[in-house]
Amino acid sequence: MPRKVAIECMKVVLLGKLGFSVKFSVHRDVLIEKSSFFSEKISEQSDLYCLQISDCEDVDC
């Protein structure tokens, strides 16, 4: 059964080149304020609630 996610939160999925994946929920304002990378990705789609980044080199479980 899927967990309920607050409206302000978004799900982030990082997929590593070696098959690892990291999934987490985070407040969208934190991503925008603390990361220019995520701020740019989020600004491309204002209604974005899930962000998936593929081929990450530094994903570690």
Q: What is the pLDDT of residue 17?
A: 83
Model confidence at 61: pLDDT above 80? no
- pTM of this prediction? 0.69
**Beta-carbon neighbour count of residue 14 at 10 Å?**
18
**Beta-carbon neighbour count of residue 35 at 10 Å?**
12
Would you state the structure tokens that stand for residue 32, as one six-digit string?
A: 């925008």
Q: What is the pLDDT of residues 8-51, one digit of tens each?
A: 689 999 888 888 888 999 998 898 899 998 888 888 887 878 98
Q: Which one has a higher pLDDT value, 52 or 48?
A: 52
Q: What is the pLDDT of residue 57?
A: 73
Q: Do residues 15 and 21 lie in contact, with contact meaning Cβ atoms separated by under 8 Å? A: yes
Name the helix (H) or strand (E) containing 50: strand 50-56
Helices (H), the chain: 28-34, 36-44
Confidence bin at 3 (pLDDT 50/70/90): low
